[in-house]
Structure 1
Amino acid sequence: MPELVVTAVLVEGRTKSEVARDYGVSRRWVITLVQRFLAEGEAGLQPRSRRPRRSPTRTATALEDQIVAIRKDLDRHGHEAGAATIAAHLIRRHGASPAVSTIWRILTARGFVTAQPHKRPKSSYVRFEAAQPNERWQVDITHWPLADGTDTEICNWLDDHSRYCLASTAAAVFTAPAIDAAYRATAAQHGDPAGVLTDNGAVFTGRYRGGGRVALEVTLHARGVILSHSRPYHPQTCGKVERFHQTQKRWLATQPDPTTTAGLQAQLDRFAAYYNTVRPHRALGRRTPTEAYTARPKAAASGIPLIDGHFRVRHDKIDSNGKLTLRHNSRLHHIGLGRRHAGTPVLVLVHDLHIRVLSTSGRLLRDLILDPSRDYQPQAST
Structure 2
Amino acid sequence: MLHANAALTPAQRLKLARLIVEEGWPTAWAAKFFAVSWTTADRWARRYRAEGKAGMVDRCSRPQTSPAKTNPATTKRIVSLRLRKRWGAVRLAVETGVAPSTAGAVLRRCGISRLSRLERRDQHVVRYERAAPGELLHADVKKLGNIPAGGGWRFLGREQGGANRTADGGRARSRHHHPLIGRGFIHVVLDDHSRVAYAEICEDETGPTAAAVLRRATAWFAARGVTARRVLTDNGGCYRSRDWAGACTELGITPKRTRPYRPQTNGKVERFHRTMTGEWAFAQFFTSEADRRAAFPGWLHAYNHHRPHTGIGGHPPISRLTNLPGQYT
Larger Cα-atom Rg: 1
Scaled by the length of structure 1, the TM-score of the pair is 0.42
Bigger fraction of residues in strand? 1
Scaled by the length of structure 2, the TM-score of the pair is 0.49
